[in-house]
Chain A
Amino acid sequence: MHTAKGFITEPFWVRYLLILAALAFLTLFLLLPLAAVFAEALGRGWEAYLAALHEPDTLSAIRLTLLTAAICVPANLFFGIVAAWAIAKFSFRGKSLLITLIDLPFSVSPVVSGLIYVLIFGLQGWLGPWLQAHDIRIIFAVPGIVLATIFVTFPFVARELIPLMQSQGRDEEEAALTLGASGLQTFFRVTFPNIKWGLLYGVILCNARAMGEFGAVSVVSGHVRGSTNTIPLQVEILYNEYNYAAAFAVASLLALLALVTLAVKGLAELKIRQTLSINEGER
């Protein structure tokens, strides 16, 4: 006769084998490359590392990346909240179509996303001649990079908020309305405190992707040094020039960003679980 415990627990060697396999896999494919990035970057010493980052083209790439993120993240933050609010709190025709559309950037290859903009705004594109006549540059310039990045990072905030807002239902907002709160008061005093951690999570993912996007940006940027290169493109150029130390030094910035993102994500997930468990308790 087995005990109840015997039925649900595997023998210890199976457990350890599984844990070891998972750890080995993680080490080989995730930890080792990450360590390699930092090892290569700092291989020639701290001075060389800082010098590589101080190179004017690299500084310009960092500036452009920060600028892109500074435009894309607030734009998608606003859009994400609006879309999630509409989807989670109201029922309307075409709702499932909207959800599908929000997911589109996830399912399209980034290169294709970039090409779409070349097709629309490029010299041979639909709006190309008109844009050229008015001396507006979008492709191979900053606006193109921003547009492509917004497209690629579109879903992150909305995707994070929709399930969270749906699970919280409409009761609290309705209660606020019956108590005389306006729409804005309801959002800032009732809805926002409930979604703030999910929002942070979405924003941090959106930011990481906005800074790290390669494919779509590569198509529309034109790789003009010191002008239309973002950090990922700069890494590629340095790497192709056999300037490994510099390439890895710049890459280490993105790796650092990834680590910060992970830390914030962990915190946000913990907080979301806490809010939801309170929610459970209330039902």
Chain B
Amino acid sequence: MGIDIDNVSKDFGGFRALDGVDLTVPTGELVALLGPSGSGKTTLLRIIAGLEMPDRGRVLFNGEEATDRDVRDRNVGFVFQHYALFRHMTVFENIAFGLTVKPRKSRLKKPEIREKVFGLLKLIQLEQLSDRYPAQLSGGQRQRVALARALAVEPQVLLLDEPFGALDAKVRLELRRWLRRLHDEIHVTSVFVTHDQEEALEVADRIVVMNKGKIEQQGTPSEVYDRPATPFVFDFLGNVNLFKGRVHEGMAQMGGVDFASPEHAGTSDAPAVGYVRSHDIEIGRSPIDAGSMPAEVRYVHCVGALVRVDLALAAGEGVEVDIPREVADKLNLKAGDKVFARPRKVRVFVDDYQI
């Protein structure tokens, strides 16, 4: 089922949680709402679910007006960050809940419910734990039960609120890959909320980046990562360095070096900020080309496959650079070394944006 959000706003007291949001979720896609806390992403999810009412705007399900539809009639599956399993019920009873509260007419018979629940238990690979209580499960198992419980009522939309937020790093990685595979199997339209850009980039078909109650950019993971529309998106997705400077007729001057900045050909002498991802900077012992900036090594940290080098530019600005380990081994950098840094890709934004 496709979802359309049409100019939705929501205030909490004096706080504007959502400010005229428009969004389309196509049928069968897995969409991530990505943003920092307070960006309105959870509020938007709860409005889609019907757990929250928008102050203005409309919610459409398959093109039909659903703004005032009751939660119960929306046929959505909702997965909570803290699982919200019924703690006094077993795993089996939890998953069967949605099937047993149906009106008698449309309710399945007991053996059918049993069959369906065990089918779902098989899907989440927890068949042998059907008699356990939520307190006896690990976090990852609980979240899988919560997902099975939501899927039991065959929702048209699956909504997940920071589904992996309460789990430890390893389980989180496992579970989000599992979710991706599951989605590839059952193709239910899904929206999940996260503040973890890595999670969004890895799992989602589309990413909607939100900030301060508005949508900053939406697109496929590679679109938002490679072509960030705003400084906020650039900053939020990945590790980024800022160079303050000026732009004049397609040329930007930053950190004492000139770059071509063709997208600002029409700009004359304006303050600008250049954004460079930490892995888009090269380091050399000698100047690589005219775009190289002299710098001094402050620290070298080894983090996994990459080596992070903290540089201080001649102007005093700090720059973080990630370089592959074998490159770092060849350079053999130590704190205090004089080197040259050359940004490979610079994205210049003219309006003066504060992080």
Taking Cβ atoms with an 8 Å cutoff, the residues of A that contact B are 171-172, 174-182, 185, 189-190, 193-194, 275, 278-279, 281-283
Contact = CB atoms under 8 A, between A and B. Distances in A.
B167 interface: no
Given A172-B86, A278-B135, A283-B166, A181 B150 contact: no
Nearest to A174: B51
Interface string B120-138: 0000000000000111000
B102 A180 contact: yes
Interface of B: 49-51, 71-72, 74, 76-78, 80, 82-88, 97-98, 101-102, 133-135, 142, 146, 149-150, 152-153, 166
Contact of A193 (B88, B135, B149): B88
Given A179-B98, A185-B101, A278-B133, A174 B87 contact: no
A194 B87 contact: yes
Contact of B142 (A171, A189, A275, A282): A282
11 contacts: A174-B84, A175-B80, A177-B51, A178-B51, A178-B72, A193-B88, A194-B88, A275-B87, A278-B135, A282-B134, A283-B166
Nearest to B152: A179
A179 B86 CA distance: 12
B85 A180 contact: no
B51 A179 contact: no
A180 to B, nearest CB: 5
A171 B102 CA distance: 20
State the main secondary structure of chain A at its contact with B: helix
Closest A-B pairs by Cβ, 5 of them: A179-B98, A171-B84, A178-B78, A181-B101, A278-B135
A179 B149 contact: yes
Contact of A282 (B71, B83, B98): B83
Given A177-B51, A177-B72, A180-B72, A279 B87 contact: yes
Contacts of B71: 174, 177-178
Contacts of B166: 283
Given A179-B153, A275-B87, A283-B82, 5 more contacts: A174-B78, A178-B150, A180-B72, A180-B153, A190-B86
Nearest to B80: A171
B149 to A, nearest CB: 7
Nearest to A275: B87
Contacts of A185: 101
Contacts of A176: 86, 97, 101
Contacts of A181: 72, 97-98, 101
A283 B165 CA distance: 11
B264 to A, nearest CB: 48
A174 B86 CA distance: 11
B184 to A, nearest CB: 24
Contacts of A174: 51, 71, 78, 80, 84
Contacts of A179: 97-98, 101, 149-150, 152-153
Given A178-B51, A179-B153, A189 B101 contact: yes
B179 to A, nearest CB: 18
Contacts of B78: 174-175, 178
Contacts of A171: 80, 82, 84
Given A177-B71, A182-B72, A281 B135 contact: yes
A171 to B, nearest CB: 4
Contacts of A180: 72, 98, 101-102, 153
Contacts of B153: 179-180
Contacts of B50: 178
Given A171-B80, A189-B101, A283-B166, A178 B87 contact: no
A268 to B, nearest CB: 16
Q: Which of A178, A275, A281 has the most CB of B within 10 A?
A: A178
Contacts of A172: 84-87
A175 B97 CA distance: 10
A281 B49 CA distance: 27
Contacts of B135: 278, 281-282
A92 to B, nearest CB: 12
Contacts of A283: 82, 166
B88 A178 contact: no
A278 B80 contact: no
Nearest to B73: A180
A190 B88 CA distance: 8
A178 B80 CA distance: 11
Q: Which of A193, A279, A281, A283 has the most CB of B within 10 A?
A: A281
Contacts of B72: 177-178, 180-182
Contact of A278 (B49, B51, B87): B87
B217 to A, nearest CB: 29
B157 to A, nearest CB: 11
A178 B98 CA distance: 9
A279 B85 CA distance: 10
A282 B81 CA distance: 11
A175 B95 CA distance: 12
Contacts of A279: 87
